Amino acid sequence: MSTTAAAAAETHPALTQLSDEELMFRDSVRKFAREQIAPHVREMDEAGVFRKDILKKLFEMGLMGIDIPEEYGGQGGRFFSSILAIEEIAKVDPSASVIVDVQNTLFNNAIQRWATEEQKKKYLPRLCQDTLASYCLSEAGSGSDAFALQTRAVDKGDHWSITGRKLWITNAAEAGLYLLFANVNPEAGYKGITAYLVEREFPGFQVGKKEDKLGIRASSTCELILDDCRVPKSNVIGDVGKGYKIAIETLNEGRIGIGAQMVGLAQGALDHALAYARQRKQFGKTIGEFQGVQFELAEMAVQVEAARLMVYNAARLRDNDQPFVTEAAMAKYFASQVAEVVASKAVEVLGGVGFTKDYPVEKLYRDAKIGRIYEGTSNMQRVTIAKAMLG
């Protein structure tokens, strides 16, 4: 991206909402993403593997424990800081962004809110230092109907025995710790669902097939196989039978993270389109001088800005202990639409080269599709929004 394009991207009105500390944090993440991640994005996408050295640097930068209190080794930041990091990294690589997203907005938040003090002391420092986490809810027959899960947990007296399979689990290939949901009493329906902290080394736990995906290919998505997996009694998170509450609350926050990922992706696509429009010449002038191209770029910019403000608003509400569930659903729903549309238009602005893998917009277009699917499909967000409107 040209210097001029980068400067234009930094002038959007939403930045007036950021404090000096937030601006400094955002700029440090931006610099890291451009210098440490960007050179390897194409290679990781083609291989479908996230580089271990970059994952290590994410930990060293403190980006895997952003709002974990300093007493546990975290940065002591706010949820909004996680959103800024997710957005900035997504401009360069949405695959790297979702790795940071799941760690911060889903897993770390669940531990901080629901874990015992002993569990926090044991696991939070590891999550900050070197242990990637994974959130394990979905199953083959349990997607949007999340509470239809069939994985079963049986009380064996001195431990829990968990048997079942999880599907489409993000970060699964590299993770060392899994927040896994199983049902202790299927007859009770969702009221039997319980959350467990499962370590990779626990007997009976295995990471299965890795999915070959359309987009965010460097982010691993795998099957998990549990065959009489032995989980200590001390690794139950929250109360037995109350796992559904943990799932609902964490996913509500996670949707803001996905919104931030989609905003970053869309901004990255727009930046590439702007840079290309300034230098590509046809009929004796740059294509950016043609009104037809200008109108497309203007429409893209308006949509990105609107999505960003919705995401920031939801994050601010959450940080200030205000109701945010509807705003989170709106932000996730709208930002995922914007990402897909803007990435598509960016391909068109670049024309023939935009359709090739030599330019980044082709990858961003593929990456955008998942935004309307994971952590609650667009239809599920519509349901949440409509129910809130109807009271």
* Cα gap 376→252, rounded to integer Å: 9
Tokens of 196: 């467990």
* Cα gap 78→66, rounded to integer Å: 7
DSSP helix/strand/coil, 62: coil
Antiparallel, parallel or unpaired: β 152-155 and 159-170: antiparallel
* Cα gap 324→69, rounded to integer Å: 23
Return the active site residues: 375
Please check whether residue 139 is in contact with residue 151, taking contact to mean a CB–CB distance below 8 angstroms: yes
* Cα gap 186→184, rounded to integer Å: 6
DSSP helix/strand/coil, 193: strand
DSSP helix/strand/coil, 203: coil
If we measure between CA atoms, which residue out of 171, 159, 147 comes closest to residue 248? 147
If we measure between CA atoms, which residue out of 153, 226, 217 comes closest to residue 186? 153
Tokens of 121: 């002391």
Q: Amino acid identity, residue 317?
A: L
Burial class (CB in 10 A: 0-12, 13-18, 19+), 201: exposed
Tokens of 224: 């998990």
Contacts of 216 (CB under 8 A, 6+ apart): 94, 95, 98, 367, 370
* Cα gap 298→292, rounded to integer Å: 10
Count of beta carbons in the 10 Å neighbourhood of residue 77: 21
* Cα gap 24→81, rounded to integer Å: 11
Antiparallel, parallel or unpaired: β 193-199 and 236-237: antiparallel
